[in-house]
A = this chain, B = another copy of it.
Amino acid sequence: MYEVFQQYIDSKIMLTPDEAHYIRSLAVIKKLRKKQYLLQDGDVWKYDAFITRGCVRTYSVDEKGNEHVISFSIENWWTGDRESLLSGEPSRFNIDAIEDTELVLFTHPNFELICRQIPAFNNMVNAILQKSFVTAQNRIQAALSYTAEEKYINFVKKYPGFAMRIPQSMIASYLGMTPETLSRIRTQTARK
C-alpha cells in the first residue's frame, strides 16, 4: 500500500528517483485492525503518519468517561498528535481505527531528516500544516456560530463521504452533541 503514499507525493511535488527511494527507505508500514489503537493517552507520540487505507479517529476522554472526537482522518490524510510530538509530553488523546487501516509511518527524526534534505518535501509539509490550521479554525467558527442542525448540515456538505462510513454516535461527538440529538436532527432533516 506504499503506492498510495507514493502517488500522493507525486501529485504534490517532483522528486528524483534517488529522493523517492530515500523516502521509501525510511517508511514503515503499519496495519491496524478495526478498533485497534494507534495511540493511547499517556503515551508519547513520536511519528508522522499517513493513512493509505481506512479511517481513524482522534479523541479525548473526560473525567466522566465521555469521549470527544477531535478529528477523523481517512486515506490520503495525515494523523497523529502534534502536541505530544512537539512537546515530548504524554498525549491527552487516543487514536484508534474505525475501519481496518493501513498507514505509512516515519519516526519524527527520520521525517525531519527528509524535510531537511528535500526542500520540496518540506514545503509540501508546511502547506499541509497551513491547510490543517485553516480547517481547525473553521471548525472553531462552526462550533461557535451554528445550531446543532446547522452543524450537521455543514458537516455533511463538507465531508459527504464521512457521513456514510463513520458511526453516527462518533459524528455526534465530533459535532459536540449527543447521539440522540443527532438522530432527531436526521429524521427532521430527512422529512423536509
Chain A residues within 8 Å of B, Cβ to Cβ: 60, 62, 66, 68-71, 82-83, 86, 92, 126, 129-134, 136-141, 143-145, 173, 176
Interface of A (DSSP majority class): helix
Q: What are 27 inter-chain pairs, A to B, with CB distance below 8 A?
A: A60-B145, A62-B145, A66-B145, A68-B145, A69-B144, A70-B137, A70-B141, A71-B137, A82-B130, A82-B134, A83-B134, A83-B137, A83-B138, A86-B130, A86-B131, A86-B134, A126-B126, A126-B129, A129-B133, A132-B133, A133-B133, A133-B136, A136-B136, A136-B140, A140-B140, A143-B176, A144-B176
Q: Which of B68, B130, B176 contacts A129 (CB 8 A)?
A: B130
Residues of B within 8 A of A70 (CB): 137, 140-141, 144
Q: Could you tell me the distance between the alpha carbons of A176 and B141 in the complex, rounded to whole angstroms?
A: 10
Report, nearest first, the 7 A-B pairs whose CB atoms are least far apart: A136-B136, A68-B144, A83-B134, A133-B133, A144-B176, A68-B145, A143-B143
With A145-B62, A176-B143 as contacts: A137 and B136 at CB distance below 8 Å: yes
Do B129 and A129 have beta carbons less than 8 Å apart? yes
Residues of B within 8 A of A143 (CB): 140, 143-144, 176
CB proximity of A175 to chain B, nearest CB, Å: 9
Q: Could you tell me the distance between the alpha carbons of A188 and B132 in the complex, rounded to whole angstroms?
A: 38
